Amino acid sequence: METEKKQPILNSIKAGLSVFIALILGLSLSLNQSCAKNDDNTTKCAIFSNEYSLAQTKSASELSQFLTSAHPDYGAFGWHFFANLGSADAAPDEITGFFFSIEQIASDVQAAIGFNNKTSGGYVLATFRTDEMIFTANPWSVKVISPDQADTQISLQLVSGNMGVTGAQYRLTADFSDTSNHQYQIDVQLVDRFGIISQGYGATSFFPEYITEAQWTRLMALPIKSIGAYLDMANDPMSCQGSYKYALPLMKVEQFSMKLDTTMVVSGTNGNSWMDYCVRTDPAVSVETVSATSWHWIAIQLPEINSAINVLSVRSPSGDIPIVRLFSSDGTRSLNESMMSSHTWATGEIQIEAVPGSEWTSENTGQKYLTKYQIILTSADYPGDLMITMLRNNQEVAGQGLYHYQGLGKVEGTLLGQTVKGQCWLETQQIK
């Protein structure tokens, strides 16, 4: 039998988070790496369902338990933070971009932390891999220590409250050495005033990572051409084709500090952070498929209207799949208190275009990237026009011949005819 072609819908670090981690760690990790097995030599599959049968779908406490647990019986799980750090009156070029990631893929634990500001000359990175996450309780935390350097470690701590519940406080810390053996110490403290969202679809918050050619054909035949409409109408669980995906999209930075040896590099008491939490089936998208695919992920934060927008655009030889979903603090909640999408635009209502003249060429690698995008949402009941402009050009991450661009941008435009502004975190690839 001929195998169906697969159309990728890449997840938040897209192509499976392993692509991003492999890139910034400089690893040769295969996307088709075997994942953890249960005792009966099977792997759990993420599935779409509108039934509240899984434990994490039933209550806020069970969802919190899910968010703070290891899931080695799936292909991968992890916590990924993206933040803007600054003072309340900071000019755009004074804001620091920051990311923090702890993820387990099969038995391989991968950790990454990085920051980028006007004086760093690009990203300052610490990346390593090991075979163990160290969990503690009361208060809950997860720590990863480098097997090669005991003084290199990163930690996520739940300071108070329950993960995913409004009012919870979090702390991110890291200690690592640079190539000159200078020691960095990073401390970021957050409070969640917004709450958790279901980035995926249905009761299980399932987010598909690819669709088959047959599924694509059925989707495009629907009156409303969107992933959500397909899942609701096709009665297709899409077993093992995606992940359970949640996010804390609008956390407030209470304070942060970054030290180099004994010198304070930057500190402040303002900013916002987005956290993705993903539990997924073994990545099923091949390196060949990824190489023929381009994508943008834009996590938009609009704190003035207490809303967030998740934007994903994937372009491949078999077609374009744009996904734009709005989440508002007063939106409908699921049984587990996660917020559902307040509005999802149909495929035909979304235009995501690079702005001419916004091309930037990296002096380090010669790779070219686009630094400005316009998002036009033509919905009659929820129109929008948003301009995304990167705060600084040099936000490239590169390693072992792989190139990636991610970092801070500002957002300006309109939604429902009202002026909005905010910030975003954009991830994309080089111009091919």
What is the number of structural domains in the chain? 1
Looking at residue 282, what is its pLDDT? 63
Residues spanned by the domain of 209: 6-428
For residues 343 and 327, give the distance between their C-alpha atoms in angstroms, rounded to a whole number: 7
Give residue for tokens 């009361």: 138
Contact between 251 and 194 (Cβ < 8 Å): yes
For residues 185 and 260, give the distance between their C-alpha atoms in angstroms, rounded to a whole number: 7
Q: Is residue 304 part of a domain?
A: yes
Q: Is residue 119 part of a domain?
A: yes
Take residue 98 and report the two structure tokens written for it: 């920051």
Hey, is 287 helix, strand or coil? helix
Q: Is residue 214 part of a domain?
A: yes
- Please report, for the domain that includes residue 109, its CATH number: 2.40.370.10
Looking at residue 19, what is its pLDDT? 35
Taking CA atoms, 73 is separated from 61, 181, 238, 409, in Å, by 21, 38, 18, 36
Per-residue confidence in pLDDT tens, the chain, 432 aa: 334 444 444 333 333 333 343 333 333 333 334 344 444 445 689 999 999 999 999 999 999 999 999 999 998 999 999 999 997 777 888 899 999 999 999 889 999 999 999 888 899 988 899 999 999 998 999 999 999 888 899 999 999 999 999 999 999 999 998 777 889 999 999 999 999 999 999 999 999 887 777 888 898 899 888 888 999 998 899 998 889 999 999 999 999 999 999 999 999 999 999 999 999 886 555 445 555 566 789 999 999 999 999 999 877 655 677 899 999 998 899 999 999 999 999 988 999 999 999 999 999 899 999 999 999 999 999 999 999 999 999 999 876 667 789 999 999 999 999 999 999 999 998 876
Q: Is residue 219 part of a domain?
A: yes
Residues 271, 88, 195, CA angle at the centre, nearest 5°?
35
Looking at residue 26, what is its pLDDT? 35
Q: Is residue 1 part of a domain?
A: no
Hey, is 281 helix, strand or coil? coil
CA atoms within 13 A on the CB side of 184: 23
Q: Is residue 185 part of a domain?
A: yes
Looking at residue 38, what is its pLDDT? 46
Q: Is residue 149 part of a domain?
A: yes
Looking at residue 296, what is its pLDDT? 84
